[in-house]
């Protein structure tokens, strides 16, 4: 099942919370490269947690953060119209509230 996207496709909605999507201006090849690296970094976080190595965990988490920024999911917004970032906000507390309420009802 595809995630629910806001009308401007800047966010997906997960359990009522907005999460910024990846920058659609990335080439498909670059996007795939970053996603694959992100999955590797997430596996490194899991392995570091299992091993109990705090330095490896810090490095792996930094890699995840770096890759999320490169994808446009964190850090500076990828859109250029000056609109505020509502990443991690509840949809009902944002300008998307009316849209979200209408989608949830249907």
Share of the chain above pLDDT 70, in %: 99
Comparing 94 with 105, the larger pLDDT belongs to 94
Q: Are residues 57 and 30 in the same domain?
A: yes
Q: Is the dihedral of CA 69, 37, 63, 51 positive or negative?
A: positive
pTM of the predicted structure, to 2 decimals: 0.88
Same domain, 44 and 60: yes
Q: Given pLDDT bands bounded at 50, 70 and 90, which one contains residue 104?
A: confident
- pLDDT at residue number 37: 98
Domain span holding position 7 = 1-21+84-106
pLDDT at 12: 97
- Is 105's pLDDT higher than 90? no
Question: How many structural domains is the chain composed of?
Answer: 2
């Amino acid at each position: 099942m595809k995630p629910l996207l806001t009308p401007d496709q800047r966010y997906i909605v997960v359990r009522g919370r907005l999460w910024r999507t990846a920058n659609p201006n990335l080439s498909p090849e670059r996007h795939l490269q970053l996603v694959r690296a992100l999955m590797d970094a997430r596996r490194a976080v899991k392995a570091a947690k299992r091993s109990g190595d705090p330095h490896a965990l810090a490095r792996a988490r930094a890699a995840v953060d770096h890759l999320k920024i490169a994808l446009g999911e964190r850090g500076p917004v990828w859109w250029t119209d000056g609109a505020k970032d509502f990443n991690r906000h509840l949809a009902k507390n944002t300008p998307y509230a009316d849209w979200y309420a209408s989608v949830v009802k249907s």
